[in-house]
Amino acid sequence: MSSNAAVTLQGVSKKYCRSLKRSMIYGLTDIARDLVCFPARVDNLRAEEYWALRNISLTVEPGECIGVIGPNGAGKSTLLKLVGGIYPPDTGRIRVRPRVGTLLEVGAGFHPLLSGRENIFINGSILGLKNQQIRKRLDEIVAFADLEEFIDSPVKHYSSGMYVRLGFAVAAHLNPDVFLVDEALAVGDTAFRIKCINRIAEMREEGTAILFVSHSEMQVRMAASRCLLINHSKAETYDYVDEAFLSYQNIINESNSAGELAGHADYYSDVELIDVKLKMPYAGDLLISGDPINVQLRFNVHTPVSDAHIIMRVWTAQGELAATVNSRDAGTSFNLPCGEASINIALDQLPLVPGKFRFAGGLLQKNRIIAWSTQLAWLHIKSKSGQLSTEGIMALSAQFEMKSRTKGIDIPLHGNIIS
Amino acid sequence: MRTDINRMINPSANDSIYEPGGDQRPGLGVWPIMLKELWDTRELIGRLALRDISTRYRQSLLGYLWAIIVPLITVAIFTFLTSKRVLPIGQPPLPYPVFALWSLIIWQLFAGVLSSCTQSLAAAGSLVTKMSFQKEALVIAAAGQPLFDFIIKLVLVIVVFTYYEVLPATQSVYIPLLLLPLMLLAVGLGFFFSIANLVIRDVGNVVGMIATFGMFAAPVLYPPPVTAPYFLVNILNPFSPILIASQDLIVHGELRHADLLWGAVVFAVLVFLVGWRVFRLVMRRIAERA
């Protein structure tokens, strides 16, 4: 472990108590033991206690931005509070550079009656800055927050957007060694969010280590160099943001598919779906992005159906609709006589990003559902070689070309500009 | 693109270290560190105190006059009650309004600091649970506003002393030195009460009651009793010796009960140090349950 890391966590755990009453009792006994320098035994859980974070180790170098991701209640905010020294750890050791800027809550520490300017000075002092240092950065902060007009009015008259802008501007311009951000950019307009992401990049160049909690995948992807995925009190670091999000998706899939198996909604009236077969170039439920796929549905038809059409939907693991195919759009409808019938849906390519996808679909007559399954199949898409991005839903391949105009002559250029 | 090279290569000796059991550096070596950290937060304490002072009367018409109105009315009522013999008290060494006003503003300084410090953490709200800094700055800074009120009240004191043609003894210039143990005692108690109040809000109410009725347990509105058992208020109330010392300095220009005063000073310093240390040890555990 390098000694000049900005943040070092070694085997850090934190436990919470479910019951308020017991929490108070435990708190008092722990305090009593602290006071007589005989700290409580921390490795075992007492009644109603649970681990909020268990055995976390992490090193953050100056200039790094760690994206902290994970489901709700996984312990992300607790981690930031431990690093900020607001809560004590129950096991392990945390070492942090002295000046820690926190943005755990928008406008934390703002006094409503004071003007924006006065609040900047107070927040700066909380961060351990001298008045002179704050004064030097004041104009920058005001300009960044875009509040020149309102900087001398009390912040209680600010809109929530202005609050966010001022909060971020102050925390991000006072040159902290470590910057802890918890969902602070969830509010605010797009232009400001982009400004913030750019500011985070600048802070990294200035040597600030950043822990960035966000549920916005795009923000983490743009801001973070590495990721810490926290799930069920355990954490894992990923050197590549893509990897982290793939694992995160798998976690979501697990919880989703568990839920879906329980509430697996199928509806059949005159027609019953008896089998789904996927035909793919390779065996298993694995498909390379961009490969063709055939979905074969076998039905048991109890009553003849005429003029039916088939719909199939592709969902991402997060429950976003990726695509829909509808036989009616292709001008195809089916007349199903009694007995068994099989319908084949051929997709000549499925250009999806790597990850898990779910097929849902069924038969409709006019707008009446005859048979429907929310879970025809799960599909695991693997990336094509050389294709790295897992952002978004579609995997596109692109060629890049640049043209530039010099001295009135069009020169088509490929690759590097040579002059 | 400005890379802070120093920050990159200097493994900092003043990194913060958080381990189970709070701020567990044992022994006496902890005091120089705590004092240095306190010194480092002086600008923050000043800012926070200024913030309280400037916001206190911002939404009010009479503003700073409020600091004067309350003691003025209290003293007027008690002057009336004693002059009509409703409250039979001994003969104070000064005209009653002068004596009562002086003692009252000393008491109000003590009670004001005590209750303001007690409320400081609860009033700070998300500052405590969402920001990272030495939280005792909040408690200490809370003493600023009552101290400021006290200074305003001194204007009233000068007016009343002049009106009754009372000239304080020259030794009164040492009174500011007496205010130091007074403040240490109030802030020290405030350390205990402020963290307790974060968890159990009743503490704030209890301290409020002490601030209101506690003055009857000290020679504020009556001269220091000399008969048993009443003279016990001069001894048992740790505030009394400091108050009596200030009265003695004004009237006699000397400390008539120096032994009592020194006892109170030692007690105040001890309360402050123990309170501060306990605050350090338990603050984080409390923040978690606030």
| pLDDT tens for each residue of B51-105 | 999 888 877 888 888 889 989 999 999 888 888 877 777 788 888 999 999 999 9
Per-residue model confidence as pLDDT tens for chain A (419 residues): 446 899 999 999 998 888 888 888 888 888 888 777 777 667 788 888 889 999 999 999 999 999 999 888 888 999 999 999 899 898 889 999 988 888 888 777 888 888 999 999 998 888 888 889 899 999 999 999 888 899 999 998 998 888 888 988 988 888 889 999 988 777 667 788 888 888 898 999 999 999 999 888 878 888 888 999 999 888 999 988 888 887 887 777 666 554 444 345 677 878 888 888 888 887 777 788 888 899 999 999 998 988 899 989 898 877 778 888 999 888 889 999 999 999 999 999 888 888 888 888 888 887 777 888 888 888 888 887 766 667 788 888 888 888 888 776 665 555 554 44
- CB-CB neighbors (< 8 A) of A111 in chain B: 51, 55
CB distance B21 to A39 below 8 Å:
yes
- Asked if the structure places residue A353 within a domain, the reply is yes
Interface test with B, best of A8, A43, A59, A86 (most B CBs within 10 A): A86
User: Do A273 and A210 belong together in one domain?
Assistant: no
CB distance A393 to A353 below 8 Å:
yes
- Higher-pLDDT residue of A266 and B271 is B271
Number of residues that this document lists for chain B: 290
Residue B200 pLDDT exceeds 90: no
SS3 A278: strand
Strand pairing class (A209-213; A226-231): unpaired
- Asked if the structure places residue A365 within a domain, the reply is yes
- Higher-pLDDT residue of B7 and B280 is B280
Residue B13 pLDDT exceeds 70: no
Q: Å from A34 to nearest chain B CA? A: 5
B:106-125 residues touching chain A, CB 8 A cutoff: none
Q: Do A31 and B281 touch (CB under 8 A)?
A: yes
User: Do A27 and A87 belong together in one domain?
Assistant: yes
Q: Do A34 and B285 touch (CB under 8 A)?
A: yes
B:56-115 residues touching chain A, CB 8 A cutoff: 58-59
- CB-CB neighbors (< 8 A) of B20 in chain A: 39, 42, 88-92
User: Do A353 and A285 belong together in one domain?
Assistant: yes
Q: Do A31 and B285 touch (CB under 8 A)?
A: yes
- CB-CB neighbors (< 8 A) of A114 in chain B: 51, 54-55
Q: Do A95 and B289 touch (CB under 8 A)?
A: no
* Percent of chain B's residues with pLDDT above 70: 93
- CB-CB neighbors (< 8 A) of A180 in chain B: 132
Gap between the Cα atoms of A97 and B16, Å rounded: 6
User: Do A288 and A375 belong together in one domain?
Assistant: yes
pLDDT of the residue at A63? 92
Q: Assess B227–A contact: CB distance below 8 Å, yes or no.
A: no
User: Do A45 and A15 belong together in one domain?
Assistant: yes
Q: Taking CA B216 as the corner, what is the angle to CA B213 and CA B219, rounded to the nearest 5 degrees?
A: 145
Pick the residue from chain A with its C-alpha nearest to B48.
A122
- Asked if the structure places residue A125 within a domain, the reply is no
C-alpha distances out from residue B83 to A259, B143, B161, B217, Å: 82, 35, 19, 21
Q: Å from A251 to nearest chain B CA? A: 29
- Asked if the structure places residue A296 within a domain, the reply is yes
CB distance A113 to A122 below 8 Å:
no
Show which of A200, A232, A254 is a domain's final residue.
A254
* C-alpha B194 chain-centroid distance: 13
pLDDT of the residue at A259? 44
* C-alpha B184 chain-centroid distance: 7
Gap between the Cα atoms of A99 and A176, Å rounded: 5
Strand pairing class (A209-213; A178-182): parallel
- CB-CB neighbors (< 8 A) of A118 in chain B: 51, 54
Q: Do A126 and B288 touch (CB under 8 A)?
A: no
What CATH number did the domain enclosing A63 receive?
3.40.50.300
CB distance B142 to B167 below 8 Å:
no
Q: What is the residue-wise DSSP string for A132-175?
A: HHHHHHHHHHHHHHT-TTTTTSBGGGS-HHHHHHHHHHHHHHS-
**Sheet holding A49-60: strands in order across?**
A49-60, A7-17, A91-96, B16-18
User: Do A94 and A207 belong together in one domain?
Assistant: yes
pLDDT of the residue at A328? 87
> Which of A48-62, B113-127, B216-230 comes out lowest in average pLDDT?
B216-230
CB distance A227 to A238 below 8 Å:
yes
SS3 B78: helix
Interface test with A, best of B4, B16, B30 (most A CBs within 10 A): B16
Q: b vs e for A175-190, b when ≥16 Cβ sit within 10 Å of the residue's Cβ?
A: bbbbbbbbbbbebbee
Please return the burial class of B151, using the count of CB atoms within 10 Å of its CB with bins 0-12, 13-18 and 19+.
exposed
Instruction: Report the pLDDT averaged over residues B193-218.
Output: 90
User: Do A227 and A276 belong together in one domain?
Assistant: no
User: Do A247 and A318 belong together in one domain?
Assistant: no
What CATH number did the domain enclosing A351 receive?
2.70.50.60
Q: Assess B290–A contact: CB distance below 8 Å, yes or no.
A: no
Gap between the Cα atoms of B195 and B287, Å rounded: 9
What's the structural domain count of chain A? 2
Show which of A254, A276, A311 is a domain's final residue.
A254
Q: Do B129 and A118 touch (CB under 8 A)?
A: no
pLDDT of the residue at A388? 63
pLDDT of the residue at A398? 81
- Asked if the structure places residue A113 within a domain, the reply is no
- CB-CB neighbors (< 8 A) of A121 in chain B: 47
Amino acid found at A10: Q
- Residues contacting B10, CB < 8 A, separation 6+: A4
* Percent of chain B's residues with pLDDT above 90: 46
CB distance B151 to B68 below 8 Å:
no
- Asked if the structure places residue A290 within a domain, the reply is yes
pLDDT of the residue at A408? 62
Pick the residue from chain A with its C-alpha nearest to B24.
A37
- Higher-pLDDT residue of B124 and B270 is B270
Q: Do A96 and B16 touch (CB under 8 A)?
A: yes
- Higher-pLDDT residue of A369 and B123 is B123
Print the domain residue range for A321: 266-382
- CB-CB neighbors (< 8 A) of B36 in chain A: none
pLDDT of the residue at B103? 94
Residue B205 pLDDT exceeds 90: yes
- CB-CB neighbors (< 8 A) of A63 in chain B: 8
